[in-house]
Amino acid sequence: MSKEYAAAGVDPSLIKPFKQLMRNVTERTRTFPQRRGVYVDTEGCYNYTGNQAHKWKQVTEGLGNKIEIAEIVYRTTGVAKFDSSALDTMRMAFNDAAAQGAMPVTYTDEVAPANSPWFNDSIRAKSMAEGFYQGCEHDDVALVGGESPALRFLVIDNPVMSGCVVGLITPISRQIKNSEVVPGLVMVGVGANGLHSNGTSLVLDRGPKLSPDGLLSRMPNGEIFADAILRPTPSYVRLVERIQDAGITIVGIVPGTGGGVAKLMDAIPKEMTFRIRRWMGVPYVLQFMRERFELGIRSCLTTFNWGVGYYLFVRPEDAEAVCKIGEDWGHPMAILGETVEGPMQVDFQPEKEVFTPEA
C-alpha cells in the first residue's frame, strides 16, 4: 500500500494485528453453533443439519456512544475494558434475536474508528477480541467475519461499533411474535444489572461534571462510577431457551432498552394498557444517577431500563414457573403486572405515572 494512502489515514499494516486477533476468534468459535445443529465451514458458510422445520432471523445492532467511556478509562488509568464494549455490542443483537425465539448462531462485527493507529494498540485490541470471544462462547455463536475500516473522513475519533447476528428458530413453533400479545397476559420482568447500553449519551453529558473525579468518581457504595457503567449487558438467550425447553409458550418479549417502559407501546402498538403493579430492584448506579443528575422519575423510566432488562409476556398459569426457571439460572425475576383492555398506555402504578404514545 502506498505511503500516500497511509498518510491519508488508512495503513493496512497497522490494522493487520487486530484483524489477526479477530481471525483467531473466528477459528476458535467455529464449532460453537454445533450444539444447535449448525455447522460452519472454514470459509464462514454455514448450514443447519437438523431435521426440523426452521427459520432464520437476522438482527443488526450498534453500540452507540458507550465505547467512549471505555476509552476515557483507558486513557486515564491504563486499564482496558474493551471486552465490555464487544459484549455490549453483541448482546444487544443477541437479546433482540432471542426476543423473537431465534437462537444466535453466527455473528459478524464492524469496528470502524477514524484512523488506522487505533487498531495498533495491542492492549486495546486484545481486550476487545477477548470480549468477542467471550460473547460467542457464552451463547454458542460463531464469529464468521467482520469489517475493520478506518473512516478518517466520517468518524472523529473512537470507533463506531455494530454487528449482525443470524439466529435459528427451530422448531418454527418457537417463533415469538409480539403481534400475538393480547389483554389477559402476565408481564414478567427479568432484572437488569446496570445501565446496559442505553442512556449513555446522558452519562457522557453529565458524568464528567461529577465531583471529585468525573466519570472516575467513587460512588457511596465504593464502586467507581465508570466501572459500574461499563458492566456488560447480560445475555438473556439461554433464559429464553430454557423456558421454551420447559414447554412454556412465551407469547411476546420486549427488551428493556431505549425508551424504558414507554418502549412497550412502541414494540407492541396495540390498543391495550400495560398495567404495572409492582417493580423490581433498581441497580445502584441508576439510583446514583437519578440523585446526582437530578432526574425526575419519568425521565428515569423512559431513559434507562430502570431495573428491567427484559419483559416477558406469558399466560397467567405459566408466570410462576417462568420466574422459577429464571431464578434457577441466576436472573432476578418478578411478576410486574398484566395487559388489560383499555387505551394504549403504560399504567405505572408504583410511581402513579401514566405514559401514553404522546407523552
Render pLDDT for 139-184 as a digit per residue (tens, 0 to 9): 999 999 999 999 988 888 889 999 999 999 999 999 999 999 999 9
pLDDT class of 236 with cuts at 50, 70, 90: very high
pLDDT tens digits along 184-228: 999 999 999 999 988 999 999 999 999 999 999 999 999 999 999
CATH of domain 3-173: 3.30.1330.10
pTM for this prediction: 0.96
pLDDT class of 2 with cuts at 50, 70, 90: low
Question: Which whole number is the average pLDDT over 13-22?
Answer: 95
User: What are 158's three cell numbers?
Assistant: 473512537
In the chain, beta strands by DSSP E: 38-40, 46-48, 55-62, 103-112, 142-147, 160-169, 186-191, 250-255, 272-276, 308-314, 333-341, 345-348, 353-355
| Per-residue model confidence (pLDDT) at position 258 | 78
pLDDT tens digits along 274-315: 999 999 999 999 999 999 999 999 999 999 999 999 999 999
**Taking CA 78 as the corner, what is the angle to CA 76 and CA 79, rounded to the nearest 5 degrees?**
110
Q: Cell numbers 456512544 label which residue?
A: 65
- pLDDT above 90 for 7: no
Residue 271 DSSP class: S
pLDDT class of 352 with cuts at 50, 70, 90: very high
- pLDDT above 80 for 53: yes
Beta bridge partners, 107, equal 143, 165
pLDDT tens digits along 115-129: 999 999 999 999 999
| Per-residue model confidence (pLDDT) at position 152 | 87
Rounded to the nearest integer, the mean pLDDT of the chain is 95
What percentage of the chain has pLDDT greater than the value 70? 99
Q: Give the CA distances from residue 330 to residues 94, 100, 314, 325, in Å, rounded to whole numbers and listed in that order.
A: 18, 22, 20, 9
Q: Cell numbers 437530578 label which residue?
A: 294
Question: Which whole number is the average pLDDT over 313-335?
Answer: 98
Do β-strands 160-169 and 272-276 pair in parallel, antiparallel, or remain unpaired? unpaired
Domain with CATH 3.90.650.10 in the chain: 178-355
- pLDDT above 90 for 100: yes
- pLDDT above 80 for 74: yes
Fold of 178-355: Phosphoribosyl-aminoimidazole Synthetase; Chain A, domain 2 (3.90.650)
User: What are 67's three cell numbers?
Assistant: 465505547
Q: What sign for the dihedral angle of Cα 27, 51, 314, 99?
A: positive
Residues in the chain: 359
Do β-strands 272-276 and 345-348 pair in parallel, antiparallel, or remain unpaired? parallel
pLDDT class of 1 with cuts at 50, 70, 90: low
pLDDT class of 48 with cuts at 50, 70, 90: very high
Domain with CATH 3.30.1330.10 in the chain: 3-173
Helices and strands counted in the chain (H then E): 12, 13
pLDDT tens digits along 247-261: 999 999 999 987 899
